[in-house]
Amino acid sequence: MTITHDIKQSLFWMGSGAAVLLVVVLVVLRFNKDQNPAEQLAFKARRVDVVSRMRLALASASEAEKSAVLAITDRDSETFADQARAATAELERLRVELTGLLENGGTSTEKDMLIQFSELFAEFRRIDKDLLDLAVKNTNLKAYALAFGPAAAEIEGMSAALSSLARKHAESPKGTDVALLALGAESAALRTETLLAPHIAEESDQKMDVIEAQIAKEDREVRTDLDGLAAIQALKDDPDLGTATSRYARFTEMKVQILALSRENTNVRSLSISLDQKRKLMFLCQDALAALQTAILEEPIAGVTYGSPTNPRRP
């Protein structure tokens, strides 16, 4: 009785094992039927193509951003900034598309790689927005244009008027005083003008403070000398003194605008961000996409080999 019972148990477990094996075989066969090599290759090619377009969009966004930063007109900056934003939007669209593709058939490694890229790309977009918002303002370029254009013309006109004033009164009893005061005002005004360019180019607020302190000192010298000239009775109604005073007043108004534009420092700041933070992040994003593309390409497909055959026939 015992032997018969043991035989029955053995037959039962053997039958159960065979049934389980049959189910596994059927599942594998079903899977292989649904996922033939041609379909798998097509799916792989589609994912690789999306990643390739993502890398191209990233490069395009970076190139347009740099052009926006380096453009010398507001119109060009806006044009390139719009191109950069469009390329970044296309990259985001492709990222979402790839996310869907990987959800339907990507490996866990590929999904993790896409998550890592997505985190880098989120920071890329944040920095890119701040950078482009700065680049299109062009405050440093506007400050330069004002400093070397209208402001410089006012200083030139002031210098010409003071030189004329000194020549006219050279032989008068107050000729020496007029010459010294006129030269002092002219020299201080010229020194003020030369300090504007370093201020516009400066990145540090602390160093800007130092330059502005020197500008204020020179301004006090100009005003003191002009007041000294105005106090000389013989110059009371002299048109050259009036011209010098009015032109310096207009220069002072422009100087206030120049310093304000310079303080915004949008060109200097955007260039610094572009060459440092943005550049590093762009390379990290490209590396992440390159690694993801390689992972997809190396994904094995049953019955398909890549490169040289494993066991090539010998002649």
- Residue 249 sits in a domain whose CATH number is 1.20.1440
Range of the domain at 251: 139-264
State whether 114 and 155 are in the same domain.
Answer: no
DSSP 96: H
Residue 256 has pLDDT above 80, yes or no: yes
How does the average pLDDT of the chain come out, rounded?
Answer: 88
State whether 65 and 207 are in the same domain.
Answer: no
| Domain end marker among 264, 280, 308 | 264
Residue 123 lies in a domain: yes
State whether 125 and 180 are in the same domain.
Answer: no
Q: What is the pTM of this model?
A: 0.74
What are the residues facing 168 on neighbouring strands? none
Contact criterion met (CB below 8 Å) for 151 and 196: yes
Q: Based on the structure, what is the number of domains in the chain? A: 2
Contact criterion met (CB below 8 Å) for 293 and 52: yes
Residue 6 lies in a domain: no
- Three-state SS letters, 210-241: HHHHHHHHHHHHHHHHHHHHHCCHHHCCCHHH
Label residue 53 by pLDDT band (50, 70, 90).
Answer: very high
What are the residues facing 304 on neighbouring strands? 301
State whether 149 and 260 are in the same domain.
Answer: yes
State whether 256 and 272 are in the same domain.
Answer: no
Contact criterion met (CB below 8 Å) for 160 and 289: no
State whether 243 and 97 are in the same domain.
Answer: no
pLDDT in tens, 202-224: 999 999 999 999 999 999 999 99
Residue 286 lies in a domain: yes
- Cα distance between residue 6 and residue 312, in whole Å: 53
State whether 85 and 172 are in the same domain.
Answer: no
pLDDT in tens, 257-271: 999 999 999 999 999
State whether 205 and 184 are in the same domain.
Answer: yes
